[in-house]
Amino acid sequence: MPVNVRELIAAGFDYALLALLDGDGYPMGLAGSLSNGAGVGLQIMKGVQTANLNVPNAERITITGQNRPQGTFIFPPNEYPSFDIETSILNMDQAAAFEDQMVRDVGSMSIHPISGDTVYYRDAMIWLLSQATSKEDGSDGLSCVYGLLGPRAKVAYLGPGSFQERTGRAFRMAVSLNPTSKYPWGEALAVETDGVNNAPLFETTTEYWPGLYTFQGDGTADEITLDYVPDGDHTSSKIKVWTEGEILAATTDYTATPASKLVALQVGAVPAAAERSVVWYEHRRWA
């Protein structure tokens, strides 16, 4: 079983998961907010083709004197990572949500503005996923999933590429990443556990496809129904729950029943009104 894989090979581009964020950085679907007692998972960006990741080089400085180099220094980059995504499938609702725009229906026609004068780039998260294979001793050759997680992103919709006969159309988005001091499930980064206090981009590995589901409490609701069937119950390493950034204890605070996609919160762990619980889990199928 390829668990906690740190040595791997990867290929392709299978999925891009996304969500708009609330004011505290929690993923909240395409709306960017939830009502009490409601929940939402991550959106899928369909038809992804390319994401040309640009991680800026570190800056290198050479000190000279007496007509020869005296030593060199290296400094962190002056920019944060960015990339453009191309997809074969246009989702107007997603493109509009990123820029706080609207899609209007006029009769049987739908209209989406591009480069409008009131564009506002909303805070978002994006998670790029691809197939991978472990190269670690003990799991060498077994399948896993490689990901790039950007918890704080701005996305600009650039529209379609060129029009050309007998050529498929690519729809483009520009993504800029910002550093964050918290993971999407609300847990703070720390030097003691992460080696950093903030970062704009994270590599991830999982055995199966990762998912996040955000639930906003109302003080009484004690069940969360996930989008997909988790690969394990609460006794496994395949599902974890946080409330307001604090990790809950399996069995004591919550149980999970994969067959029904259900996470049950126990007495004392039910989120109060407006408190956000986030479930991270792994799943094999998108159903």
Please tell me whether residue 211 adopts helix, strand or coil conformation: strand
Please tell me whether residue 263 adopts helix, strand or coil conformation: strand
pLDDT of residue 217: 98
b/e string for 44-56 if b means 16 or more Cβ within 10 A? bbeebeebebeee
Per-residue pLDDT of the chain (287 residues; tens, 9 = 90+): 789 999 999 999 999 999 999 999 999 999 999 999 999 999 999 999 999 999 999 999 999 999 999 999 999 999 999 999 999 999 999 999 999 999 999 999 999 999 999 999 999 999 999 999 999 999 999 999 999 999 999 999 999 988 899 999 999 999 999 999 999 999 999 999 999 999 999 999 999 999 999 999 999 999 999 999 999 999 999 999 999 999 999 999 999 999 999 999 999 999 999 999 999 999 999 97
Are 41 and 156 spatial neighbours (Cβ–Cβ below 8 Å)?
A: no
pLDDT of residue 31: 94
Structure-token pair, residue 69: 């180099």
pLDDT of residue 283: 97
Which strand (E) or helix (H) includes residue 193?
helix 191-194
From the CA atom positions of the chain, what is the Rg in Å? Answer: 21
Are 32 and 159 spatial neighbours (Cβ–Cβ below 8 Å)?
A: no
Provide the pairing of β-strand 124-134 with 223-225.
unpaired
Report d(CA 124, CA 103) in Å as an integer.
19
Structure-token pair, residue 215: 């639930």
Is the whole-model pTM more than 0.85? yes
Phi/psi of residue 192, each to 5°?
Answer: -65, -30
Within 8 A by CB and 6+ apart from 192, the residues are none
SS3 annotation, 88-121: CCCCHHHHHHHCCCCCEEECCEEECCCCCCCCCC
Taking the alpha carbons at both ends of the chain, their separation in whole angstroms is 23
Question: Any idea how long the chain is?
Answer: 287
pLDDT of residue 92: 98
pLDDT of residue 287: 79
Phi/psi of residue 5, each to 5°?
Answer: -70, 130
Structure-token pair, residue 20: 């708009």
